[in-house]
Structure 1
Amino acid sequence: MNSDDSPLVSVITPSYNQAAFIKETIKSVLTQDYSNIEYIVIDGGSNDGTLEILKSYRNIDPRFKFVSETDRGQAHAINKGIKMAKGKIIGWLNSDDTYLPKAISRAVEALKTNAHWGMVYGKAYATDKENKVLHPYPVESFNKARLFERCIICQPAAFIRKEVFEEVSGVDESFFFCMDYELWMRIAKKHEIGYIETYLANSRCHDSSKTTLFWKEIGIKECMVASLKNYGTISNMMIYDFVNLNYEKGAEWIVQQLKQFNIFGILPKITTMNLYEDFWSPNCLDIFVKVNSHQPLHALLIKGKVIQPDKKRLKVYLNGEVIEECLITDKSFTFIVLMPSESSDCSIQVITNPASIIKQLNDQPSNQRECGFLVDHIIPLSELEYEFIQILYEKVNFVRRWLKGNREMNLFNTDS
């Protein structure tokens, strides 16, 4: 049998302190019915007993090799493994996941049959820490529009031609969480991705897995960064997921976070603001806003706290003209001041009367300053952002429908 009939498959496992799981991972590779493999474990210098396990397998199976040294994380480890790999096909199996029987042979057969596929993936199971099946992993047959909306590929169930890996320059090491999803995006731009209706792998869910620990705080936002990098925009589905995951942090926090992704175009943004380092405003808060002509300034959101209301008032000026005077009646307050403006550069002043006398930052009682209020959020809003935040104030369930009606999505002809 020549190498075309049975091409060498290199399986790469990035590893760090996974002694509880890695033995099962290794066994799932070395017991495959497809024998023409090399198995490379790139360990980041584990100190939990992993190294002893790796050493034992090096003496059992000549197809097994490993390195153990400090690295820059999971993505870096994968790229190191790719450079070492001699195979024509690459499998990427994390140190807590496992292959199902015949996974490699079925993937090889699919790539042999479909020479135009740059990679192939199959179905997978989500399993618990004992590797017992919880439910089928949410995998879908390949579709570019659906990949734009969410990750439809289970990483351990994917096999990639090495030449494709090298062509797209490997895994982007700037990503901590979704380096696999971002890789699929880049591969899909240049190559056809195939799918087979066969279960190939198990993706283990446990208390210390990245999905469990980091999805809410890091994962969803990284997916948005990856989407912006590769598509120039973000799907409505992904925005809704971000809103839903973070809804308890408040509408203002969500709008502030979404500004960096320009989901409604280039939005009004603060360029300078004379806040103190402890987020107290001076008695006269100066705010300078850069505005794009397609998304002019529509309103200013002011959220903050005062020590005692004491009939405090905020007088808001836009380019030297009084726009509104707001009476503070509670210690915590939120105002949205309408100030439609076509100006490209907007100068805003928020004057607090009366001022509060606050200790200086060095906490010297003899050294005091006049302050206005403790700032939670100062957010310039376009008209679409203003409408969006009103929806957020109402109910999170309204967000998806509003996005669909107010955000045109022509990419891949999807109306997600």
Structure 2
Amino acid sequence: MKSLKPTVAVVVPNLNQGRYLGQALESIIAQDNITYYIAVMDAGSDDNSVEVIRKYEKHIEFWRSHPDDGQAAAINEGVERLPHSDYVCWLNADDVFLEDGLVRMINFLETNKHFVAVYAKAYITDAHNNIKDTYPTTSFSQSELSRGCFICQPATLIRRQAWDEVDGVDPDFHMCMDYDLWWRLLKQGDLGYLQEYTACSRDHTDTKTRNNKDLHFNESFLLLKKNIGYVPWHWVKSYSLKYKRSDSFIDKIIVNFIAVLLYIKNQLY
């Protein structure tokens, strides 16, 4: 029998984020007037993650803990392990939904049937839940999306039908699976923008983005070439700044020269 409430599959990928995992799960459980299905996909953590999972086990539809093929593959597995739902999302173990944040994104898609997914505003918080900044979201523009990902992943929700049409996230990406997903979803329809705060993205010393910047750029270049056919100048210029050692005139020339070479290379291959 179909639930009278909207249903949503929420996958929580985790690796050694036990100190935050409980907060992530609490933020899902606190969402009212929806039917949620939670899968916790733990990649073999050696901290207290399994202990936290067992504490919330009655709220969790599926969980496992063993080494896997990466975050994207785990997310896809989690969605498949859960009952079929109206909507799909994932919440990294160190992020949280705000009060009614998931509910408001569901209500947006329930009202705006023509959108295949929605993204909303989000706060950036530190390890102690203090708000450091707001994520730089903006009204949707493919041109702006080509310059950088202004969509904050925890503040997103996707229709299950659209998710299935694009086969979920691409397991070949380990850093930018969400950025790639937005481009592929655009081939199914438009992305809606909810101008309300619905989630918090945590910035701390152990985040993948902080510790894998080269891989982040490499994957961004690859997915941009795949989805729009080229890498915009803004991206190669940003990457070349890693070679900057000072504000000297010579350094600026070197950085710009490297950027030009990268730009040419990424248009030819």
How far 1:233 moved relative to its partner? 0.7
SS at match of 2:63: strand
Match of 1:20 in 2: 19
User: Per-residue deviation at 1:49?
Assistant: 1.3
Q: How far is 1:253 from its partner?
A: 5.4
Among 206, 212, 215, which residue is 1:214 paired with? 212
CA shift for structure 1 position 117: 0.6
Q: For 2:232 and 2:187, how far apart are their aligned partners in 1?
A: 17
Q: Which amino acid aligns with 1:189?
A: K
Which residue does 1:143 correspond to in 2? 141
Q: Percent identity?
A: 33
Distance 1:37 1:16 in 2: 22
Give the equivalent residue in structure 2 for 1:65: 62
How far apart in 2 are the matches of 1:18 and 1:64?
20
| Residue number in structure 2 paired with 1:34 | 33
1:129 is matched with 127
Which of 217, 235, 240 aligns to 1:238? It is 235
Distance 1:131 1:220 in 2: 28
Shift of 1:87: 1.4
1:240 positional shift: 2.2
2:37 is matched by which residue type in structure 1? E
Aligned length: 259
Computing the radius of gyration from Cα coordinates, the structure with the larger value is 1
Q: Would you say the 8 A contact 2:62–2:81 is kept in 1?
A: no
Runs of 4+ in 1 over 2 A off after TM superposition: 243-260
* 1:261 has 2:258 as partner: no
Tell me, yes or no, if structure 1 residue 193 matches structure 2 residue 188. no
CA contact (8 A) 2:233 2:263 kept: no
* Contact 1:33 1:101 (8 Å CA) reproduced: no
Secondary structure, counterpart of 2:19 in structure 1: coil
| Partner SS state of residue 189, structure 1 | coil
2:248 corresponds to: none
For 1:247-291, what per-residue CA distance to the aligned partner results, in whole angstroms no more than 9, with x for missing partners? 3495465555545412xxx38xxxxxxxxxxxxxxxxxxxxxxxx
TM-score by length of 1: 0.59
Larger RCO (CA within 8 A; separation ≥ 6): 2
Instruction: Find the partner of 2:73 among 73, 76, 80.
Output: 76
**What is aligned with 1:292?**
none
Structure 1 Cα separation of the partners of residues 152 and 133 of structure 2: 13
Once residues 223 and 69 of structure 2 are traced to their aligned partners in structure 1, the CA distance between those partners, rounded to angstroms, is 19
* Mapping 1:31-180, distance limit 5 Å: 31-59=30-58, 61=59, 63-85=60-82, 86-180=84-178
Residues 376-396 of structure 1: CA deviation (Å, up to 9, x unaligned):
xxxxxxxxxxxxxxxxxxxxx
- CA distance in 1 between counterparts of 2:34 and 2:182 reads 27
Q: Is the 8 A contact 2:11 2:39 kept in 1?
A: yes
How far apart are residue 46 of structure 1 and its match?
1.1
Q: Which has the higher mean CA deviation after the structures are superposed, 206-215 or 178-187?
A: 206-215
How many Å separate the matches in 2 of 1:260 and 1:77? Answer: 33
Greater Cα offset, 17-26 or 238-247:
238-247
Contact 1:98/1:203 (<8 A) preserved? yes
What is the identity, as a one-letter code, of the residue corresponding to 1:172?
D
**Alpha-carbon distance between aligned partners in 2 of 1:49 and 1:34, rounded to the nearest angstrom:** 31
1:226 lines up with 2:231 in the alignment: no
- Residue 88 of structure 1: CA displacement? 1.4
* Gap regions ≥5 residues in structure 2: 246-250
1:229 maps to a residue whose letter is: K
Higher-helix-fraction structure: 2
Aligned to 2:179: 181
Q: Is the contact between residue 205 and residue 211 of structure 1 (CA under 8 Å) also seen in structure 2?
A: no
Q: What is the distance in 2 between the residues matched to 1:226 and 1:246?
A: 23
Matched residues in 1 for 2:34 and 2:180: separation? 31
Residues 123-172 of structure 1: per-residue CA shift (max 9 Å, x gap): 00010011210011111121121111210100000000111111111111
| Contact 2:231/2:263, CA 8 A, preserved across alignment | no
Normalising by structure 2, we get a TM-score of 0.90
Q: Which region of structure 1 is more displaced relative to structure 2, 63-72 or 176-185?
A: 63-72
Q: Distance in 2 between matches of 1:159 and 1:195?
A: 11
Q: Which is worse superposed, 83-92 or 195-204?
A: 83-92
- Residue 35 (structure 1) shift: 3.8
Distance in 2 separating the partners of 1:164 and 1:204: 27
Which amino acid in the other structure matches residue 21 of structure 2?
I
Separation in structure 2 between the aligned mates of residue 246 and residue 156 of structure 1, nearest angstrom: 32
Task: State the alpha-carbon separation in 1 of the partners of residues 211 and 24 from structure 2.
Answer: 21
Q: Which stretches in structure 1 are left out of the alignment for 5+ residues?
A: 268-416
Shift of 1:81: 1.1
State the Cα deviation string for residues 228-259 of structure 1 (Å, max 9, x = none): 11110122222222223443495465555545
Equivalent pair of 2:6/2:34 in contact (CA under 8 Å): no
The residue type paired with residue 12 of structure 2 is T
